[in-house]
Structure 1
Amino acid sequence: MKICLFQDDEKIFRKSGIGRALKHQREALRLAKVDFTLDYKDEYDIIHLNTINPKSFMLAKLAKKNHKKVVFHAHSTEEDFRNSFALSNQIAPLFRKWLIKCYSTADVLLTPTPYSKTLIDKMGFKVPIIPISNGINLDDFRLNNEKKKKFQRHFKLSKQQKTIISVGHYFERKGIIDFIEIARSFPDIKFIWFGHTSSTLLTENVKKAIRNKPDNVILPGYIDGDIIQGAFQSADMFFFPSYEETEGIVVLEALASKTQVLVRDIEVYSPWLKNKINCFMGRDNNEFKKTIEDYLDGKIDSTVESGYKVAEERSIEKIGNQLKNIYQQILKNEL
């Protein structure tokens, strides 16, 4: 059994959740001892596609023509396309049609969560749709004091400085406007949002929020490696007010770092995240503010240990074995 784990436009997707999902898949297959290639010109039995660009679609069609099996990882939905960049809502119906065209080539669709499976189910596909987490490499986020120091030195932070971080594109859907607004209520806390989006794609609402952000909000752009890992381990809280996700790899990264997590109470986290058990949840800015205040004042207990167990259940090793099992079933026509 040999898998073609196709990756294209790596420079474009490297900074996105899909880029990290691809990296996780490579690591997972290595650990599960699954033979794979990144070159679609090699011999293979199954092609596993993560992106929905025209090349992925053409490779899926070519694979079917050559009697190969096609797995499409349904990372994208119309719902998480909306409220992202400028004009995303206007072109969302066309995006949905393209999704259906791409995903219809698959023998099996994979999707990151039970919630995202319900969204894909609504498109009416007749093939199996299997929820499987994007996974997390626990080793990357184990406590490392040198990484914490690198983060603190990079931002010139004292050990006493309270910090709240988030990670994502500058999309309205991600909740960056709420993040900035809430920071106004906590001038003594540094709010750091890691990520970058081209200014040409920003909505006017996001541009306005960034222009008028308070001084305690830091937007350092895209940073990876030791500094971002140190940020997760050093931060007092990971605050992710996203309105729509298919999973949220950054949430898994925070859980794996044993950082206190605060997320918006949205469907994607059901049933794997539970308020005040393995994370904190809020429905609006007032609830977010109160939770931040209560946690930093010691009025509510940390959930990091239970949160870490959620990350353990989605370790790269376990995801690799799950993928291996799915591939084997596909080749045996058992799905």
Structure 2
Amino acid sequence: MRVSHYFEWESHITGGHAQSVENQRTILDRKGIKYTTEPTLDADVLHLNNMGPRSLYYAKRAQRAAVPVVVHGHQTAEDLKESFRFFTALSKPARPYLSYAYSLADHIVCPTDHNRRVLETYTDVPKTVISNGFDPEKIDGHDDDALRQEYLDRYDLDPPVVFMVGHVIERKGLRSFVETARRMPDIDFVWFGYLNPGGGTVDRLLRSRMTTKLVESAPENCTFTGYVEDITGAFAAGDILFWPSKNENEGMALLEAMAAGKPPVIRDIETYEWLDDGAHCLKADETFVEPLRRLIDSPYERDRLGDAAGEKSEEFTIDAIADDIETLYQRVTE
């Protein structure tokens, strides 16, 4: 079997979307499935990971050539809201565009049941739920005491540390993160992730005014690190993951934090119906002080939830989902 595994605009996309594609290619390597990262019809399967215009062009050509098209459902119009400047306005025309784009697939991969239900309203193309997964090797060393101390010292953090990992955007719950930190001045909050406030023209154009305002008005106990090259340090330094994101297709950093044994406090949204409140995490609708304080005050609760979260995360390793990807390829080619 040979797969055309194409990721349009690959050099410009970061975060969980890019990591998902990397995970898929790691699986292909481990399974011994031959693939090219170029779009081509000289393959048994055309697998598309970002439905830009070039992907649409090749999807239509593949239909005519009877090459099965698999599309990963990374994007929804809902994702665009409250992310970067102008993206909320783009979410309205994005809906019909994505509906058309996804309709060109023979099969759509959805990372969660929630994502599948959303995409059911876009197109009736057959869908299979397969997690984006995470690579445990990416967080190797998170329990290294020296690394923990290095990051605590670098950002002047005093444990227990409440932390977040991801792009600094409103959709990720930026306002809740900042305001919760303001209400808990005795606790250090740190957000590890891309911000680059001193970046170039494109960066300044993309970052919304509200994002800039929230970051600049954050209290002293709320730190934004910007891009961190070794993300393992974030999982080493953090003690409680605070994940107040308003909308996610899955949330890879959440899976990684769980695998590192960090107890998560998350917003109660449909995406996380597979996580049980009080068993794998603590959930809240908007007021997060109480569940965070509960974990801060009880090392036992932190350990209990962290251990349970770690066990749950084992369902989502790339080894756990590898067979599902291979089986899907076999199904569409048959």
Q: CA contact under 8 A between 1:195 and 1:223: conserved in structure 2?
A: yes
Q: CA contact under 8 A between 2:134 and 2:316: conserved in structure 1?
A: yes
Judged with a 3 Å threshold, the aligned counterparts in structure 2 of structure 1 residues 108 and 63 are, in CA distance, closer, same or farther, namely same
User: In the alignment, which of 268, 277, 280 is matched to residue 279 of structure 2?
Assistant: 277
SS in 2 for 1:36: strand
Question: What is the alpha-carbon distance in structure 1 between the residues aligned to residue 324 and residue 85 of structure 2?
Answer: 37
Cross-structure match for 1:317: 319
1:44 equivalent to 2:47? Answer no
Judged with a 3 Å threshold, the aligned counterparts in structure 2 of structure 1 residues 144 and 42 are, in CA distance, closer, same or farther, namely farther
Cross-structure match for 2:161: 163
Note the C-alpha offset of 1:74: 0.6
Judged with a 3 Å threshold, the aligned counterparts in structure 2 of structure 1 residues 52 and 41 are, in CA distance, closer, same or farther, namely closer
Note the C-alpha offset of 1:178: 1.1
Judged with a 3 Å threshold, the aligned counterparts in structure 2 of structure 1 residues 97 and 214 are, in CA distance, closer, same or farther, namely same
SS in 2 for 1:313: helix
Question: What is the alpha-carbon distance in structure 1 between the residues aligned to residue 226 and residue 9 of structure 2?
Answer: 20
Runs of 4+ residues deviating >4 angstroms: none
Question: What is the alpha-carbon distance in structure 1 between the residues aligned to residue 42 and residue 148 of structure 2?
Answer: 44
The aligned runs of 1:115-264 (5 Å cut-off) are: 115-123=114-122, 125-142=123-140, 143-145=142-144, 146-157=146-157, 161-197=159-195, 198-225=203-230, 228-264=231-267
1:60-91 CA-to-partner distances (Å, cap 9, x unmatched) read: 22222332111110111122222222333322
Cross-structure match for 1:327: 329
Note the C-alpha offset of 1:7: 2.3
Judged with a 3 Å threshold, the aligned counterparts in structure 2 of structure 1 residues 71 and 147 are, in CA distance, closer, same or farther, namely farther
Q: CA contact under 8 A between 2:192 and 2:228: conserved in structure 1?
A: yes
Judged with a 3 Å threshold, the aligned counterparts in structure 2 of structure 1 residues 314 and 299 are, in CA distance, closer, same or farther, namely closer
1:93 equivalent to 2:96? Answer no
Cross-structure match for 1:304: 306
Q: CA contact under 8 A between 2:40 and 2:58: conserved in structure 1?
A: no
Question: What is the alpha-carbon distance in structure 2 between the residues aligned to residue 195 and residue 154 of structure 1?
Answer: 15
Q: CA contact under 8 A between 1:170 and 1:202: conserved in structure 2?
A: no
Q: CA contact under 8 A between 1:22 and 1:50: conserved in structure 2?
A: yes
Question: What is the alpha-carbon distance in structure 2 between the residues aligned to residue 280 and residue 179 of structure 1?
Answer: 15
Note the C-alpha offset of 1:32: 2.5
Note the C-alpha offset of 1:301: 1.7
TM-score (norm 1): 0.90
Q: Percent identity?
A: 29
Aligned residues: 323
Question: What is the alpha-carbon distance in structure 2 between the residues aligned to residue 180 and residue 107 of structure 1?
Answer: 43
SS in 2 for 1:193: strand
Q: CA contact under 8 A between 1:63 and 1:70: conserved in structure 2?
A: yes
Note the C-alpha offset of 1:282: 0.9
**Quick one: higher RCO (CA 8 Å, sep 6+), 1 or 2?**
1
Cross-structure match for 1:12: 12
Q: CA contact under 8 A between 2:159 and 2:239: conserved in structure 1?
A: no
Question: What is the alpha-carbon distance in structure 1 between the residues aligned to residue 235 and residue 297 of structure 2?
Answer: 20
Cross-structure match for 2:199: none
Note the C-alpha offset of 1:117: 0.3
Q: CA contact under 8 A between 1:294 and 1:300: conserved in structure 2?
A: no
Question: What is the alpha-carbon distance in structure 1 between the residues aligned to residue 181 and residue 111 of structure 2?
Answer: 31
Question: What is the alpha-carbon distance in structure 2 between the residues aligned to residue 230 and residue 30 of structure 1?
Answer: 27
Counterpart code for 1:214:
P
Taking only aligned residues, the RMSD between alpha carbons, in angstroms, comes to 1.9
Extract unaligned runs of 5+ from structure 2.
196-202
SS in 2 for 1:263: strand
Q: CA contact under 8 A between 1:4 and 1:39: conserved in structure 2?
A: yes
Judged with a 3 Å threshold, the aligned counterparts in structure 2 of structure 1 residues 91 and 39 are, in CA distance, closer, same or farther, namely closer
1:26-45 CA-to-partner distances (Å, cap 9, x unmatched) read: 11222233222213348311
Question: What is the alpha-carbon distance in structure 2 between the residues aligned to residue 260 and residue 107 of structure 1?
Answer: 39
Q: CA contact under 8 A between 1:167 and 1:195: conserved in structure 2?
A: yes
